[in-house]
Structure 1
Amino acid sequence: MSTVTGRWTAEVRGAPDAGVRLFCCAHAGGGPAGFRSWQREFGQDVDIRPVLLPGRESRSREQPLRRMADIVGPLCDGLLPLLDRPYALFGHSLGAALAYEVARELAARGWGEPRHLFVSARRAPHLPSRRARLHDLPHDRFTAAVARMGGTPPEVLSHPELLNAFTPCLRADFEVNETYTPLPGGLLGCDVSAVVGRLDPEVEADEMAAWRDTTRGGFGLRVVDGDHFYLKETPGDLFALFRDGLDLPARTRTPVPHPPTHRTHSHSPTPLPEPTS
């Protein structure tokens, strides 16, 4: 199968009659598996559609792509049949940059902007990286650096054969992230919400606040408990943010407490959290 064909969202037991679809883009090395349980949270309110890139899950035999520009166009082509209703985009870490570029490309094609863009745990696209490149390191150094970052399942790290099979896709994703600069295009017009873990060692709150410069619409920043992978352990704050941003009814079974979102215009200063020790 070609690297630029195939199904671009994973099969899930979704909500085909929901009023809005949420396309979810994972972190480097991640895939749809991390989003499949989300449908239970939203029931019939949102149709959750995890993005499926070449090199993982049912597309594991395809070569992973190594440049953002090579992903965005084919992914937008693949999403077109699903743009028959309002949609939103969510991206975590590398996925935040991908979701942003997909939103811009869909708008540029005249296919409509998302109702909302949610970005998580990645500095704004116009800010330079503060971390040394990892994707071209020798195997042992690369896997050791990835292990220190967390996010890779222990069962993968502890089994050399599984790790060797997983590494090409992971390395390609790091290459996408580390070579990425914003693609040609203008400002978004939709609202953007940025989320970061209070203890995230990879990105600081002011770097997330800089996402305000990507849109003419409204902007909000939320700082939540947790580290770079806060959403794996305590996604409740994130789910509450989705409901706020998409104007959905509050979940009635177990209310999810969360700190207030600071909403500003895209060019207004955004309140930042108090520094933590």
Structure 2
Amino acid sequence: MASQGKYGDWIALAPNSPSTAKLRIFCVAPVGMSGACFHPWASGLPRGVELMPLELPGRGFRMAEKLQASSLNDLAAAALDGIGRPVFEEVPFAIFGHSFGAWLAYELAQQLCARGWQQPLKLYVSANRAPQLHCTGHDPDRVQPELSRLGEESFWDHFERRYGKNPDLQESYIRDFIRPVLQGDFSLLETYVPSSLEKLPVPLCALCAIGDRRCRPEQLSAWHEVAGAGFEERWFQNVWKPEFWSTEHRYIVDNPKSLLAFLSEDLPLLGCPGGADDTGIEGPVVSECAEDSVPESTAPESARRCCIS
């Protein structure tokens, strides 16, 4: 088994990761992706913030491993055990999760609380509905909300209908390798039952790209029901471009500029009554777009309140 060194097998550190950090952000990838999908973020985050992408079994440098967890709850517990309590106590941290990763990030936060471990300064959840809407009956895909049990041909038809036609996933040998990983992740999603729906004692920020069909505005807003220490909602516009094969759902990979601008403003403020100057973290200031710059016909009300262009 390959290892990434000082954080073991659960963290896919970015190249040139800082030797010391004033803040860490643990990042959880979407279905099938390696934690390395976050590596390009490293140059877009403030100095002093260490990027900590989770690497799950079956992808990246853990490609040869099989995902043993039978639920997202078990996977969160295994990740916490593998990373270890000291890592969460060394430096203040936030957690970010996208899509599949949003629910896993939520489980990490709930289980950190249940264990009495250090809590994140903030939880960022992107492009997924709130956990109380976990049943597949709430999935925005009403054509085929369950992909985990489909046969090969049907699976790829519905996968591409939902997410776009990935040019890197067209060769049969690649499909044969990656399909079990994808369907394993989808199984965890489709059978997810939250370990708790108690309000988290940490601030929560729900994020999404305008036009993302995988999360309806009211489903994103519903995260406020599990936010016990403050809630905000952010919508990003103009993240999709005609040259992209994918949809707005992949904005964290294809076009994360607006998201990183927001995080670069927000992360230095966490837990610091005096503002960014109290942290020693240097981050650029990002200006918010005017309310009327978001088309009335496409943006939810919350997007007009806090839109990042």
The answer to whether TM tops 0.5 is: yes
Contact 1:205 1:223 in 2 (8 A): no
From 133, 149, 152, the counterpart of 2:162: 149
Which one of the candidate residues 96, 99, 108 is aligned to 2:102?
Answer: 96
Structure 1 93/27 Cα, relative in aligned 2: closer, same or farther at 3 Å? Answer: same
Distance 2:164 2:229 in 1: 32
- Does residue 120 of structure 1 match 2:115? no
Contact 2:72/2:104 (8 A) holds in 1: yes
Contact map agreement 2:110 2:196 (CA 8 A) in 1: no
Shift of 1:234: 2.5
User: Whole-Å Cα distance in 2 between the matches of residues 47 and 61 of structure 1?
Assistant: 27
The answer for unaligned runs of 5 or more in structure 2 is 2-7, 240-247, 270-275, 292-299, 305-309
For 1:145 and 1:189, how far apart are their aligned partners in 2? 38
Residue 50 of structure 1 deviates from its aligned partner by: 0.6
Deviation at 1:207? 0.7
Which is helix-richer, 1 or 2? 2
Aligned to 1:266: none
User: Secondary structure at the residue paired with 1:229?
Assistant: helix
Change in CA separation of 1:122 and 1:185 when aligned onto 2, cut-off 3 Å: closer
Choose the corresponding residue for 1:77, options 78, 81, 94: 81
Tell me, in whole angstroms, the C-alpha distance in 2 between the residues paired with 1:49 and 1:148. 32
For residues 239 and 219 of structure 1, the distance between their equivalents in structure 2, rounded to whole angstroms, comes to 19
Q: Percent identity?
A: 31
Give 1:184-263 correspondences, 5 Å limit.
184=196, 186-225=198-237, 226=239, 227-246=248-267, 247=269, 248=276, 251-252=283-284, 256-259=286-289
Single out whichever of 38-47 and 91-100 deviates more from structure 2: 38-47
Q: State the distance in 2 between where 1:121 and 1:222 align.
A: 11
SS in 2 for 1:273: helix
Residues 60, 213 of structure 1: CA spacing in aligned structure 2 closer, same or farther, 3 A cutoff? same
For the 8 Å contact 1:240–1:258, the answer to whether it is kept is no
CA distance in 2, matches of 1:140, 1:198: 30
Give 1:180's aligned residue.
192
* Alpha carbons of structure 1 residues 55 and 152: separation in structure 2 relative to 1, 3 Å: farther
Which amino acid in the other structure matches residue 10 of structure 1? A
Deviates more, 1:58-67 or 1:30-39: 58-67
Aligned residues: 259
Mean alpha-carbon deviation: is it higher for 179-188 or for 19-28?
179-188
Report the aligned-residue RMSD.
2.3
What is the distance in 2 between the residues matched to 1:18 and 1:175? 36
Report what 1:28 is aligned to: 31
The alpha-carbon deviation at position 233 of structure 1 amounts to 2.8
**Which of 61, 74, 96 is the matching residue for 1:58?**
61
Q: Secondary structure at the match of 1:237?
A: helix
Deviation at 1:251, TM superposition (A): 4.0
TM-score (norm 2): 0.77
Question: Secondary structure of 1:7's partner?
Answer: coil
- Secondary structure of residue in 2 paired with 1:209: helix
Gaps of 5+ in 1: 262-269
| TM-score between the two structures when normalised by the length of structure 1 | 0.86
**Aligned position for 2:302:** 272
* 4+ runs deviating over 3 angstroms: 248-252, 255-261
Q: Distance in 1 between matches of 2:31 and 2:161?
A: 14
Which amino acid letter does the alignment assign opposite residue 12 of structure 2?
A: A
Whole-Å Cα distance in 2 between the matches of residues 213 and 271 of structure 1? 18
Give the aligned residue type for 2:176: N
For residues 100 and 203 of structure 1, what CA distance do their matches in structure 2 show?
16
Is the 8 Å Cα contact of residues 236 and 256 (structure 1) preserved in structure 2? no
Aligned partners of 1:167, 1:31: CA distance in 2, in Å?
14
1:18-65 deviations in Å (ceiling 9; x for gaps) = 211100001111111210111111253210011000111111111124
Contact 2:46 2:283 in 1 (8 A): no
Question: Residues 222 and 260 of structure 1 are in contact (CA less than 8 Å); yes or no, is this contact kept in structure 2?
Answer: no
Question: Structure 1 residue 16 and structure 2 residue 16: aligned?
Answer: no
Name the SS for the 1:37 alignment partner. helix
Does the Cα contact within 8 Å between 2:103 and 2:131 map onto a contact in 1? yes
Equivalent residue letter for 1:178:
E
Amino acid across the alignment from 2:23: V
- Do 2:29 and 2:35's aligned partners in 1 also have CA atoms closer than 8 Å? yes
